[in-house]
Amino acid sequence: MKITDTLKLLESDKSRKLMAALYGENGIDENIERYQNLLLSFEKKFPEDDEVLLFSAPGRTEISGNHTDHNHGKVLAGSINLDCVGAAAKNNSRIVNIVSETYNQNFTIDLDDLSPSDIKSGTIDLTKGILKGFLEEGYEIGGFDAYITTNVISAAGVSSSASYEMLLCSMINTFFHEGRLDVVKYAHIGKFAENVYWNKSSGLLDQMACAVGGLIAIDFKNPAAPSVEKIEFDFASRDHSLIIVNTGKGHADLSEEYSSVPAEMKKVAEFFGKEVCAEITEEQVIENLSEVRAFAGDRSVLRALHFFEENQRVDKEIAALKEGRFEDFLQNITASGNSSWKWLQNCFTNTSYQEQGITIALALTELYLAEKHAGACRVHGGGFAGVIMTLLPNDLAEDYCAYMEKAMGEGSAYRMSIRPYGAICFHEIIAQ
């Protein structure tokens, strides 16, 4: 669609309805202007491109299922109202041109040279990984121009990288495959990019939650085709808010800490001749505890036990939401947080034990919730540094945010909502 036509489309009733679904009623006008500015910036950067489409991919929140996906476990997650948006057009070449306004990046990738850099990090390597991932899966790719901006918080456990990955997947799928690929394929391509081009041992959780949209339950027992169930529930319906508190990025390189979690769980599975914890049972581990401890180590055993119990909690939480037992749901969120802190042990690093932003934020939140007799909290995302999640009644939300920002810094607390759409081409949704 021509840029002038898209600018008009953004003012339409259909556009306003979609904006309300993506960002809430209070975010309609702000985001229409955001998309308009995006289009104008694209036009200025790529004046030769007239046919342009708009794309959006959200960040994600992990409600429960902390560090279970990589061992083929269960997760309850949701897409959020913060997103990565892009204006893009095919350029009928072998060149991909990308401008990232938020991070002040402007780079070009030759599709005939998709080898990663020696350091295997950064946006260019990640982008090459996505492009190479399509080729590895046997899919066509081609040249395109994209102008991208994001408000997904970086290094805060809401998957700014996966949001970007899923945005690119949506563009490539729309331009070169007429939208035929399903979002599970997006997730595998994003995982490939992180595993191979970033040396990051990530699972599929982040990509699936960003790609699918809404509140979803995912069972990764068959990782090639994860079972995904949309859960029809909105926290606003129970007069509760979901709040993310960013405690600050850790100063240590956390790659080894993140990678140790799946590796240690898999070490326990290896004792039984299996690859992942989903292929063994908690009873097997307990019955052979002395031998497993000697083979895999004590922390590995604790992390495996967390995996089994966390899987059960996800099932209990889904049932509680479906059956309207919201207090039971909150109790299981609290149990999930306690397990992550004590058994999974991903709230701080052993090497930088005096740096405990996560545990400080959790301690302050637990004191607050105990005083108010309401809500629940837990570490959010990969852990070790970064973010916690809190669920509490709406009438406490502003007070809690002020309380936490006094301790953790201004602008550290974010009220979020679950949006019903994952990675999308804006024009395609409008046309439905």
pLDDT tens column, 193-203? 999 999 887 77
Rounded to an integer, the average pLDDT of 62-90 is: 95
- Banded model confidence at residue 85, pLDDT cuts 50, 70, 90: very high
Each residue of 90-147: pLDDT tens digit?
A: 999 999 999 999 999 999 999 999 999 999 999 999 999 999 999 999 999 999 999 9
- What pLDDT does 159 receive? 83
Residue 418 gets which letter from DSSP?
A: B
Question: For residue 414, which amino acid is it?
Answer: Y
Quote the tokens at residue 365.
């939140």
> What's the rounded mean pLDDT across residues 149-165?
85
Here the tokens at position 22 are 């993506």
User: Which DSSP helix (H) or strand (E) runs through 371?
Assistant: helix 357-372
Using the predicted structure, report yes or no on whether residue 251 has a pLDDT greater than 60. no
Residue 50 pLDDT greater than 90, yes or no: no
Whole-number percent of the chain with pLDDT over 70: 99
Q: How many CA atoms lie within 13 A of 376 on its CB side?
A: 20
Report how far residue 123's alpha carbon sits from residue 194's, in angstroms, rounded to the nearest whole number.
11
d(CA 415, CA 417): 7
**Confidence at residue 216, expressed as pLDDT on a 0 to 100 scale:** 94
Q: Out of 3.30.565.10, 3.30.70.890, 3.30.70.580, 2.170.190.11, select the CATH number for domain 235-416.
A: 3.30.70.890
| Fold category of 3-232+419-431 in CATH | Ribosomal Protein S5; domain 2 (3.30.230)
- What pLDDT does 417 receive? 87
d(CA 223, CA 389): 26
Q: What tokens were used for 35? A: 């998309």
384 in Cβ contact with 359 (< 8 Å): no
Task: Transcribe 168-206 into DSSP letters.
Answer: HHHHHHHHHHTT-S-HHHHHHHHHHHHHHHS-----SHH
Instruction: Lowest mean pLDDT of 154-168, 215-229, 275-289, name the range.
Output: 154-168
* Alpha-carbon dihedral 204, 210, 215, 217, rounded to 10 degrees: -10
pLDDT single digits (tens) 13-34: 999 999 999 998 989 999 999 9
pLDDT (average), residues 332-348? 96
Structure tokens, 64: 């429960």
Residue 377 has pLDDT above 90, yes or no: yes
Other C-beta atoms closer than 10 Å to the C-beta of 118 total 7
In contact, 389 and 380? CB cutoff 8 Å: yes
Beta strands in 304-375 (DSSP E): none
Residue 244's pLDDT is 92
Distance (Å, rounded) from C-alpha 91 to C-alpha 400? 49
CATH 3.30.230.10 residue window(s) in the chain: 3-232+419-431
User: In the β-sheet with 387-393, what is the strand arrangement from edge to edge?
Assistant: 376-380, 387-393, 240-246, 413-416
Q: Where in the chain is the domain with CATH 3.30.70.890?
A: 235-416
Q: How far is CA 251 from CA 55, 106, 155, 248, 305, in A?
A: 34, 27, 12, 9, 29
